[in-house]
């Protein structure tokens, strides 16, 4: 609803991606021809295109990744062996889509660097958290103003 605010949010994400971070294992260099932003669904395609403009990076879009039952022929042609990939997401809760895309990238010979998202839900303890991510906003047990919950069959 508030496009200027969202563009500002993406600008902040781009700044985080280029700055050094002691928790994260990678840092983006502007106009790096070896680094590609990888978009795994149409929801994050807008985010990816804006980040691409801010950071002058190429993009790769592969739609309909998620809890899937089959692989679509030809995805390996989209991934280049000499490139490094950052997966761009809108929201990451449990990380299934990110893990699927990471596996596709590595299976095809590309190098997975990490994942960026607007929102990241931290569902694991601090010592088990990933060190390859960057997010604008993180929801955790201690920082959850919207009372977000993930329910499973164990909760019923």
Torsion-angle region of 95 (φ positive above 0: left; ψ -120 to 50: alpha; else: beta): left
d(CA 128, CA 82): 30
The answer to whether the beta carbons of residues 131 and 103 sit under 8 Å apart is no
d(CA 122, CA 129): 8
Structure confidence at residue 149 as a pLDDT band (50, 70, 90) = confident
Four-residue CA torsion sign, 95, 89, 10, 139 = negative
The mean pLDDT value for 73-97 works out to 84
Q: Is the pLDDT of residue 118 over 80?
A: yes
- pTM comes to 0.87
Residue 137 main-chain phi, psi, to 5 deg: -135, 135
The answer to whether the beta carbons of residues 81 and 106 sit under 8 Å apart is no
d(CA 101, CA 36): 13
In this prediction, what percent of the chain has a pLDDT beyond 70? 87
The mean pLDDT value for 31-54 works out to 92
């Amino acid at each position: 609803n508030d496009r200027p605010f969202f563009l500002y949010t993406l600008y902040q994400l781009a700044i985080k991606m280029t700055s050094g971070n002691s928790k994260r294992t990678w840092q983006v260099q502007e106009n790096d021809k070896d680094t590609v932003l990888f978009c795994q669904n149409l929801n994050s395609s807008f985010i990816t295109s804006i980040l691409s403009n801010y950071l002058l990076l190429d993009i790769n879009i592969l739609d309909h990744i998620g809890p899937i039952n089959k692989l679509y022929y030809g995805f390996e042609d989209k991934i280049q062996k000499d490139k490094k990939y950052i997966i761009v997401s809108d929201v990451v809760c449990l990380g299934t889509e990110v893990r699927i895309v990471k596996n596709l990238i590595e299976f095809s010979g590309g190098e997975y660097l990490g994942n960026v998202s607007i929102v990241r839900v931290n569902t694991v303890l601090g010592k088990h958290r990933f060190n390859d991510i960057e997010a604008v906003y993180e929801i955790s047990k201690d920082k959850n103003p919207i009372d977000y919950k993930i329910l499973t069959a164990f909760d019923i």
